[in-house]
Structure 1
Amino acid sequence: MSTIGLESWAVDLAEVGPVYPFQGWEVAMTIVGVVFWLGWHRIQYLRENEHLKNVRDIGDKEKIAKALERY
């Protein structure tokens, strides 16, 4: 099984051109990688904002006072 279109390596590689797997898919794989990267950053942004919102609420003076009244 060959992903580069060669059946034998007994050729002059200077005449063959690119000899790496999935040649011709560079643009598609770059687009997939960039979309994945941007999606990951979006997910991280949303999760970190939610976490920071929860952290900000911890310092709310009213919530601290209510928590202390219980004891």
Structure 2
Amino acid sequence: MTTWAVDLANVGPVYPWIGFELIMVLVAVALWILWHVIQIRHENAELERDIRLYGDRESIRKVLDEHPV
């Protein structure tokens, strides 16, 4: 194609991977959900580590309330 001065209805697809839009959206949503699962597991492990080091959740909350970031 050398010019855009044509009827694009007659040109056909003008971008790659025509027909894979739904698959790409499903993969993106699956990766997004997977990222959240991994993040929640990581944060829970970090919280459990902090509980082992500093006491129970209430002690951690009290320390954080006394020393805001």
Q: Does the alignment reach a TM-score above 0.5?
A: yes
Q: Shorter-normalised TM-score: what interval?
A: 0.5 to 0.7
Aligned pairs (5 A) from 1:23-42: 23-42=18-37
Moved over 6 A (4+): none
The Cα offsets for residues 15-43 of structure 1, whole Å up to 9 and x where unpaired, read as: 22431110110000100110011011101
CA RMSD, 1 decimal: 2.1
Aligned residue for 2:42, secondary structure, equals: helix
Q: Which has the higher contact order (CA 8 A, sep 6+)?
A: 1
Larger Rg: 1
* 2:49 corresponds to: 54
Q: Structure 2: 5+ residue runs without aligned partners?
A: 57-69
Matched residue count: 53
1:57 Cα deviation after fit: 1.8
Q: Structure 1: 5+ residue runs without aligned partners?
A: 1-8, 62-71
- Does the alignment pair 1:18 with 2:13? yes
Aligned residue for 2:46, secondary structure, equals: helix
Scaled by the length of structure 1, what TM-score is found? Answer: 0.61
